[in-house]
Chains A and B, each alone.
Chain A
C-alpha cells in the first residue's frame, strides 16, 4: 500500500456519492468529483500505462492537462478515445478506462523487452539502422515498426456523438482562473466590460484550490468562492469551465475546446460531446499559470514519482495521499511549502531532499516543527521498484558539478515528489507574441512582447510572478489595462493582502542528477522516452540546434508537446555546449496547446452535411423520375435517367439517340448567369470577350470567348442582349463565380469609369434546353406571346413569351448540334414550366436527358468544355482563332501573339476514332505508332450513336495537319494501348444544317 484516500479533506469530491467505474477490466470505486487519476491513486492503483518506446510502467505524474505518463484510452466502440490524460478525466458511473500501449496486458507487456534492448534504441535509431537498408529494406521493417509504435488506437467505427462549433465575443477574454485570472476578470467585469473566463479544468480557481494561504484574512479557497459568486452574478460575465484555449491568432482571435459532455457517460439528447469555440475578443488576459518542473534522475519515471504540486493538489482537492512515506526532492523553497502543505492536509512527508547545501534557517526550523527530516546538499540518485516506488537512494551531491559524490544510502519511501522549479506557461503567449525572454533567476522563459495585431497581457505565474500577493496585483493590473484600452474607466478591487508570504521559487540551477558510475535511465521527455543520455549522444553527434535536436531525439513531441521536457532538455543542451540557455535557443510553441479532436473541428460538417449542395429548381422532378445524380462542383445534376435494368452506357446512348431522332430536354439551370446592365454594358462586353459585341442587336445572342490576360482561353458561353443596356451573360458551370469575380475586378481596377453593373442571376433563372428535330413543334404547343417559326425566330434569336401564364425567356441556341432552344424562367416556376414542356412533348416521345448524353452530343459536334479549355489552350488551339478580333483590344489580346502561343506545333483540337471499336480512355496519351513519346492526349470520349462508333476529342501536337493519321492512344497505368485515327473534331453535321434549320 502506498497511495490512499485520506480520512477527510478533498473539497472537490462528494464522499456521499460513490461512483463505480472500470479500469483495466477491474471494478473501481471513487467519489463524485474525482478524476480518474485521483480515484485510482485513492485505490493504490499507480501503474496505469506503459511508456512509448521502452514500455516501462508509468503512473500519474501531474494533476493537469500536461500529464505525460498517465495516459489511458476511454470508452469503447465508436466512442473509443485514446491518449486521454488521467488527471483530466472526470469519472462517472459506468466509465470504462483502459491502459494503453500494452500487450497482452498491463501486468505482462511483451514489448517491455524493449527496455532490455534500450542501448540499441538510442536517439537516431531509425536513421542509423535503416539508412542503408534501401527502400525495400525499409518497407519490410516498416510494417513491424508501425505495429509496435504509436500511442493508443483510434476507433475505426463512426463516432456516434455530436460535435459543434460556435463563436463567442467578449471585450476581455481571460484565459485561466487562478488568482491572477480571477483578479483580472473581476477588475474588467466590475468596470462593465463583457468578460469571458475560459478555464481548462472542471473547477475555477487554479492554484487557489490547493492553497493554504489566506487572502484578505480569509482562506484562499474562500476568497476564490466569493469571487466566483460575484462573477457569476454579473450579467456581463460568462464563465466557461472545461474549456481549453488552445490557439491564439491574429486580431485577438482564440480557438478553444469545450469538453461539454466528456464527463458524462453519454451526451444527452443532441448535446455535443465537445464544442469548438472561436472566441473574438478586444483584449486578452493570459493567466495560464505555470508548470512545476521535473528533475532528471535515475528512475524519475517510475509510478509513484510525481510533481510535488500535484501531490498537494490530490490531497487538497480529492483527499488523496500520494504515499504513506513520500519524500520530496527540491532545488527551491516551493518543495518545502509543498511538504508543509501536505502535512497540513494529513500526508506524512518523511523527508525533504534538498539539492542545495544551505537554505534559510526558517525553512529548516519549520521542517523540524513538522517532523520532516531535511537532507541538504543531497539528491535522490535512483529510485527502487519497477511498478511502484519501494525506496530511494539518497546520496551526497555536488551542485556545482551536478554529480553524485558518495554512495549514499537506501531510504524507505513509497513516493517521490519532485519540486524542480517552475516554468511559466507561455505557450499561448508564444503563439501570439515575440521571442520568449530567458529569466536567469527563474531559469525559465517569460512571454515576449505581443505582436502588433494582438492585444494581450500576461499576469500571475504565466508572467513569472509567483508571489501570490504580487500575482493578484498583476491580475488587477492586467484587467485595468484591458479596460483602459477599451476606453472605459477601470473599477479595480482594492489591493489584496496575502498571508503567509509565498516561498521563493527561484531554483538552484541544477536539474540533472548525474549518477557517480553512469547507468540507469534519467528521463527528460516522459512521453517519448527521451533520456539525458539521448541528448548527450545527439550533442556528440553534432546536433547543435534545438530544432534539430528535437527532431533527432523526438523530444518535445506527442500530446504534452514538451511541456514537461523542454526546459530540462535546453538545460542539458546548454551544459553540453558550454553556453547559457538563452544562447541555445528555445522552440516556439504552435497551436494547438492540447490535442484537439477532429470531430470538434469538423462540427456538424459530417455525413450528408459534409459540404453544402446546390440544387436546380427542378431537382425534385429529376429525383422523382429516377435520375442518377452526379456532383459537379457544388451542384447536384442529373447524370442519366435509366430505365429498369439499363446500364449507364445503354441509358446515355438511348438518350442521345432520342435527341438526334426526336426531342429531349436537359436541365441547364447550372450554367452561370450574370446580369450585365448599364450604358456602357456593350463596351464592357466588347473588352472582356475576344469577339465583337458592340453591334449585337437586341433580341439576339452571341457565343463569346473570354481569355485570360496571358492569352489563354478562360471561359466561354453565350450572351443575350435583352434590352438596349441589358445583357444576360451565361458562363460555364464551373467558372460561374470566378468569371463574375474577374469581371468585377476588371471593372473596378481597369475601367472604373464604365457605367456597368454585374449581378449574379444564376439562382434567378431555371434553365432547360429543349433539343432535337421536334423541339420547335413541342414548344410551339405551349409557348404563347412569341412566334417560334423559323423565319421569325432564327438561330441565336432571343425573345420573351409565356408558358401556361408563366413568363419565359427563350433563346435559340444549340450545344447538341440539333435544332434547340434554351428556355429560361423564374426559378420558382422552373418545375411547372419543365412539366408543361414534358407534357407537351408526350406526343413526340420527349425524354429528359442527363450530363452523359449531353457530353455525347457535344463531342459529336466537336464543342469544347472544361476538358479542352484546360488553362493551357489558346483559341487557335481549339479551332476558335477566328473569334479573336483583329480590330479591337480585349483582355488577352496583347499577349495572344507571343511566339509560344502561335507555334504551329502546339496541341490542337482533333477528333479521334477508335479503330478497335471499343471505348477510348480519357487521359490516354497519344503517340505515334510504335513510339511511347507523348504527342498529345485524349480529352473526352464517348460512343457516338450518330456515327455508331467510339469517338473522342483530343489535343494533339500540330493536330489540324494530321487528320487521317493513324496513332496509338496509350494509358500505361491501365496497360491499355488503342489504335486510333485522327479526324476533324466535328463528327456530326459539319455544315450545321440541323441546328440552323
Chain B
C-alpha cells in the first residue's frame, strides 16, 4: 500500500521563531456526525460517553481525550478527529445520524507561539480575548477566502483545519504572513 500523501509542500514552514511557528498536523481520521431533530439527545449522549464529558458541548466548543478531539461545529453537527473507529458509529448511522468520513478531506496546520493571535488577526476577524475566545473554542470562518475551522487549544496554540484542495495555498499564504513575525 502506497504512503498517503499530504497536500502541503515539504519545507513550507521551515522558517520558525520563538514568537511563532507553523507546522503541518495532518489528522489521521476525521468523521462528521450530522443529526436531525429528534435524535440530538442520543447523539449527545454518545459523544459525552465517548469523550467522558460531564455536559454536552455547546456549538463552537471542542473537547479532547488523548489525541482525539470532539468538536461541536454546529447545533446539529459534531466533527470527531483522530478517534478510533468504534461500533458506536455503526449504531448511530443511519438511524440516528449521518456519519461521513472526511479523513481525506481536511488538512490541518498548527500555529504556536506568543505571536499566534496577532498573526491570526492579520487575516481573521476573530476576537481572541480570553472572554470572547477561550481555550476550547472552535471557530468556523474564512481565511483568504478559504473556509477554515480554527481550534484554540491554549492561549498561544491553535490548529487550523482547511479543505484539502485549498491546503497548499493556505499553507503558502500563512508562511508568507508569518514572515514579519519570524524576522529579527
B115 within 8 Å of A (CB atoms): no
> Given the complex of chains A and B, what is the CA–CA distance between A228 and B130 in angstroms?
26
Assembly CA distance A836 to B177 (angstroms) = 38
Asked if B154 is at the interface (CB within 8 A of a chain A CB), the reply is no
Tell whether A614 pairs with B105 under 8 Å between CB atoms, given A675-B98, A725-B94: no
Select from chain A the residue with minimum beta-carbon distance to B37. Answer: A752
Whether B179 sits at the interface, judged by CB under 8 Å, is yes
- Residue contact A612 to B105, C-beta cutoff 8 Å: no
**Are B145 and A726 in contact (CB-based, < 8 A)?**
no
**Are A166 and B122 CB-contacts (below 8 A) given A271-B180, A604-B177?**
yes
Contact B144 A609 (CB under 8 A): yes
A269 near B184: Cβ-Cβ < 8 Å: yes
Contact A677/B100 with A166-B121, A617-B5, A832-B5 known, Cβ cut-off 8 Å: yes
A763 touches B106 (CB 8 A): yes
* Closest residue of B by beta carbon distance from A260: B180
**Is the beta-carbon distance between B105 and A165 smaller than 8 angstroms?**
no
By CB atoms of chain A within 10 A, which of B121, B146, B184 has the most?
Answer: B121
- By a CB distance below 8 angstroms, the chain B residues around A830 are 5
Question: Which chain B residue lies CB-closest to A168?
Answer: B121
Cβ–Cβ contact B125 & A804, under 8 A: no
Contact B104 A765 (CB under 8 A): yes
- Known contacts being A169-B129, A763-B165, A806-B1, is A612 close to B146, with CB within 8 Å? yes
Task: A732 to B168: give the CA distance in the assembly, Å.
Answer: 23
Complex CA distance for A382 and B70, rounded to whole angstroms? 79
Say yes or no: A272 contacts B94, CB within 8 Å.
Answer: no
Nearest-neighbour CB distance to chain A for B82, whole angstroms, equals 15
Say whether B94 contacts A724, CB under 8 Å: yes
- A81 CB-CB contact with B under 8 Å: no
A765 — which chain B residues lie within 8 A by C-beta?
A: 104
CA distance A611 to B146 in the complex (A): 10
Check A828 for interface membership: any CB of B closer than 8 A.
yes
Residue A579 lies at the interface, judged by CB distance under 8 Å to chain B:
no
Could you tell me if A764 and B129 are in contact, using CB atoms closer than 8 angstroms? Answer: no
Report if B124 contacts A (CB, 8 A).
yes
Contacts of A194 in B (CB 8 A): 129
Name the B residues within 8 Å of A696 (CB-CB): none
The answer, yes or no, to whether A109 is at the interface (CB within 8 Å) is: no
A831 located at the interface, meaning its Cβ lies under 8 Å from any Cβ of chain B in the complex: yes
Q: Contact at B145–A827, with CB atoms within 8 Å?
A: no
Whether the pair A764, B144 counts as a contact (CB closer than 8 A) is no
A827 near B104: Cβ-Cβ < 8 Å = yes
Q: Does B64 touch A at the CB level, under 8 Å?
A: no
Interface membership of B58, Cβ < 8 A? no
Residues in A neighbouring B180, C-beta threshold 8 A? 164, 270-272
Which A residues lie within 8 Å of B168 (CB)? 615, 619
Known: A167-B121, A609-B144, A831-B5. A763 touches B163 (CB 8 A): yes
Which residues on the B side are within 8 Å of A741 (C-beta)? Answer: none
Within 8 A of A (CB), among B84-143: 93-95, 97-106, 118, 121-129, 132
A612-B144, A755-B36, A805-B1 as given contacts; A269 in contact with B106, CB under 8 Å: no
Q: Within 8 Å of chain A (Cβ to Cβ): is B47?
A: no
Is residue A506 contacting chain B, with contact meaning CB distance below 8 A? no
Query: What does the 1/0 interface line of B149-184 toward A look like (CB < 8 Å)?
Result: 000000000000001111011101100110110011
Q: A474 to B8: give the CA distance in the assembly, Å.
A: 55
Contacts of A678 in B (CB 8 A): 36, 94, 98
Question: Shortest distance in angstroms between A428's beta carbon and chain B's nearest beta carbon?
Answer: 20
Q: Are B94 and A616 in contact (CB under 8 A)?
A: no
Chain A's closest residue to B106 (CB) is A763
Asked if A407 is an interface residue, CB under 8 A from chain B, the answer is no
Instruction: Name the A residues within 8 Å of B122 (CB-CB).
Output: 164-167
A824-846 interface bits toward B, Cβ cutoff 8 Å, 1 = contact, 0 = none: 00111111110110000000000
* Bound-complex Cα distance A957 to B11 (A): 58
Q: Tell me the complex Cα distance, A40–B102, Å.
A: 65
Inter-subunit contact B98/A612 (CB<8 Å): no
A804 CB contact (under 8 Å) in B1, B34, B105, B166: B1
* Chain A CB within 8 A of B21 CB: no
Q: Is the CB of A759 within 8 A of B165?
A: no
- Could you tell me which residues of chain A, from 165 to 209, have a CB within 8 Å of some CB in chain B? 165-169, 194
A620 to B78 alpha-carbon distance, docked (Å):
33
Is residue A280 within 8 Å, beta carbon to beta carbon, of the partner chain?
yes
| Interface residue tally on A, bucketed by range | 35 or more
Interface of A is mostly: mixed
Complex-state Cα separation, A613 to B122, whole angstroms: 20
> In the docked arrangement, what's the CA distance between A763 and B148, Å?
13
Q: Which residues of B contact A831 (CB under 8 A)?
A: 2, 5
A759 touching B100, Cβ below 8 Å: yes
Q: Which of A269, A675, A752, A756 contacts B183 (CB 8 A)?
A: A269
List chain B residues, Cβ under 8 A from A723: 94
Residues on A with C-beta less than 8 A from B172 are 608-609
B5 touches A759 (CB 8 A): no
Given contacts A614-B165, A615-B7, A763-B106, contact A757 B36 (CB under 8 A): yes
Of B6, B128, B163, chain A has the most CB atoms within 10 Å of the CB of: B163
Q: Are B170 and A826 interface neighbours, CB within 8 A?
A: no
Closest chain A residue to B127 by CB distance? A169
Query: Which chain B positions have C-beta within 8 A of A724?
Result: 94
B61 to chain A, nearest CB (A): 20
- Judging by beta carbons under 8 Å apart, are B106 and A679 in contact? no
Chain A residues positioned under 8 Å from B127 (CB to CB):
169, 280
Which of A165, A270, A675 has a CB less than 8 Å from the CB of B179?
A270
Partner of A826, one of B94, B95, B104: B104
**Cβ-defined contact, A759 with B124, below 8 A:** no
| Contact B106–A675 (Cβ < 8 Å) | no
Closest to B184 in A: A269
- A728 CB to closest chain B CB (Å) equals 11
How far is B69's CA from A167's CA once the two chains are assembled, in angstroms? 28
Does any Cβ of B come within 8 Å of A587's Cβ? Answer: no
Task: Judge whether B144 and A605 touch: CB under 8 Å.
Answer: yes
Q: Is B66 in the interface zone, CB < 8 Å from A?
A: no
Q: Does A243 belong to the interface (CB within 8 Å)?
A: no
Partner of A679, one of B94, B101, B179: B94
Q: Specify which chain B residues have a CB less than 8 angstroms from the CB of A763 in the assembled complex.
A: 102, 104-106, 163-165
**Nearest chain-B residue to A616 (Cβ)?**
B165
Interface residues of A in 589-638 (CB under 8 A from B): 604-605, 608-609, 611-617, 619, 635
Q: Which of B7, B98, B163 contacts A757 (CB 8 A)?
A: B98
B18 within 8 A of A: no
- Bound complex: CA A829 to CA B1 (Å): 9
Q: How many angstroms from the CA of A165 to the CA of B180 in the assembled complex?
A: 13
Which residues in B have their C-beta under 8 angstroms from that of A679? 94-95
Q: How far is the CB of A352 from chain B (nearest CB, A)?
A: 51
Q: Are B100 and A762 in contact (CB under 8 A)?
A: no
Q: Report B-chain residues with C-beta under 8 Å of the C-beta of A865.
A: none
Of A723, A765, A766, A828, the most chain B CB neighbours within 10 A belong to: A828
A:947-988 near B, CB below 8 Å: none
Q: Does A278 contact B (CB under 8 A)?
A: yes
Q: Which residues of B contact A278 (CB under 8 A)?
A: 125
Contact of A167 among B4, B6, B101, B125 (CB under 8 A): B125
List, in ascending order, chain B residues with CB within 8 A of A766's CB.
104
Residues 274-306 of chain A, each 1 if its beta carbon lies under 8 Å from chain B, else 0: 000010100000000000000000000000000
Known: A169-B129, A271-B180, A828-B104. A806 touches B2 (CB 8 A): yes
Closest 4 CB pairs of A and B: A832-B2, A805-B1, A828-B4, A757-B98
Q: What would be 23 A-B contacts, judged by CB atoms less than 8 Å apart?
A: A164-B177, A270-B180, A280-B125, A604-B144, A604-B173, A604-B177, A609-B169, A611-B145, A612-B169, A613-B169, A615-B7, A615-B168, A669-B165, A677-B93, A677-B98, A679-B94, A724-B94, A761-B105, A763-B102, A763-B163, A763-B165, A764-B103, A826-B104
New A-B pairs, 15, CB < 8 Å, besides A194-B129, A764-B104: A164-B177, A169-B129, A269-B183, A270-B180, A604-B176, A609-B173, A615-B169, A757-B98, A762-B163, A765-B104, A804-B2, A806-B2, A832-B5, A835-B2, A836-B2
B interface list, Cβ under 8 A from A: 1-7, 32, 34-37, 93-95, 97-106, 118, 121-129, 132, 144-146, 163-166, 168-170, 172-173, 176-177, 179-180, 183-184
